[in-house]
Amino acid sequence: MRKAGLDVLEAIWTTRAMRRLDPHRPVAEEDLRTVLEAAAKAPSGGNRQPVEWVVVRDPDTRRRLGELYGEIARRTLPASYGEAAKTDEGVARMLRSALHLADHLGEAPVLLIPCAPLSLIRVEGAVYPAIQNLMLAARGLGLGTALTSMHRENEAAVKELLGIPEEIATFAIIPLGYPLGSWGEAPRRPVEETTHRDRWGHR
């Protein structure tokens, strides 16, 4: 059953990566179903609906998935952002938050893995709208999410752990739970800097 939520524009403006989630506050089964149903409403080419979700609640599986992710993230993040973090406080703050997730991903009450067949051309066009729907629905219910895909550097191990067939790709790991931080508008470049009128270079 759908619940009353936020205005859609408020949800869009304030949905941000929530990497610190309360490990002791469970997500209700009804709310989990709601966000998955929101994901299912996303468009897909030919209405093929190729996206399927692995929902990980089991504590041991979450822990093992978190360990796999943490190994990759602790190696990748400092190499990618360490230098910039020395002089840019915004980058430094993001890096601290991302490293926190690397250490605590497996503690999130729910881990969601969107999957789709490798054989489908441009399947990402169905996957990412479904992810965005899910994250916005979660925001409407007061639940935090974060989108990360670094696990794909060792995707074979993740797929083995979760019993995902070889011909199926995993596109992200999304922790879901009640945030320990506050909602707010994330800093973004103004549209005047990112928009071209009629042809490239015409701001």
The answer to whether residues 114 and 51 touch, using CB atoms and an 8 Å cutoff, is yes
Span 8-59+106-181 CATH architecture = 3-Layer(aba) Sandwich (3.40)
Q: What are the tens digits of pLDDT across the range 113-139?
A: 999 999 998 999 999 999 999 999 999
Q: Among 3-7, 147-151, 156-160, 166-170, whose mean pLDDT is lowest? A: 3-7
What pTM was computed for the model? 0.93
**pLDDT at 2 (0 to 100):** 64
Q: What are the tens digits of pLDDT across the range 63-80?
A: 999 999 999 999 998 888
- Reduced to 3 states, what is the DSSP secondary structure of residue 114? strand
**pLDDT at 6 (0 to 100):** 85
- Domain positions in the chain are 8-59+106-181
| Residue 1 reports pLDDT greater than 90 | no
